[in-house]
Every structure is written in C-alpha cells, then in structure tokens.
Structure 1
C-alpha cells in the first residue's frame, strides 16, 4: 500500500487540483487521508481504481452506442 501526494494524483489523472477537490466534494473521487496538520495523501490503489472505473464507464457507453 502506497500513499501518494497531490502532485502525483494530478500526474496520474491529468486533472487540475481544483477539479480533484470538486470531485471529492461531490463524492466522485477518493477522499484524501490526513498525514499531518497540513499534509494529505491518497491511497495509490484507490486512485488507480477510480481511473479504471472511468475506463469502464467509457467502454460501457461505447458498447451501448454500438
């Protein structure tokens, strides 16, 4: 299990910081883990699972359109 910081989350997802926090507030992105007073991180596996869910959504849309 690995914890990654915001920069790496942004690199993995291609999303901006503001978009990540918007998705978190809408319950559509993994919640961060507090690592200290001013430090948060995300479980790498949860971010990867979120990315895979987006791929599955896309594939389902393509399948339904065919």
Structure 2
C-alpha cells in the first residue's frame, strides 16, 4: 500500500472545510492527527483523511 501525505490545503479542499473548522476538529479529537514532518511543516496521511470523509458520508446517509 502506497502511503501519501497531504498538505493542509489539500486536506481543506478534500474535506470542504475551513482552516478554522479543521483546527476545531483536531482540538476536539475528531480528526486524524497530523504527522510532524519538520518543525514548521505537518501533513496528514491520505488514507486516514479518506476514511474520515467516508465516515462523515456514511453518518450523513443514516440521518
């Protein structure tokens, strides 16, 4: 399985959320944690973000 990291802007685009919403979700423990790349750069594991999106879609379909 190839692992890919996503930058913040890619995460925001894929999830269709704002930076503020991303921050709130992270603080609440409701979003996959970022991986620290350097002291000034973080990224997210693509499949973890995709799983989060799929869960949100499934949840919305059940409501």
Tell me the TM-score normalised to structure 1 length: 0.89
- Count of matched residue positions in the alignment of Structure 1 and Structure 2: 61
Residue 43 of structure 2 aligns to a residue whose secondary structure is: strand
Is there any run of 5+ residues in structure 1 with no aligned partner, and where?
62-66
Q: Which has the larger radius of gyration?
A: 1
Moved over 3 A (4+): none
* 1:43-62 superposed matches below 5 A: 43-61=45-63
Tell me the TM-score normalised to structure 2 length: 0.93
- RMSD between aligned residues: 0.6
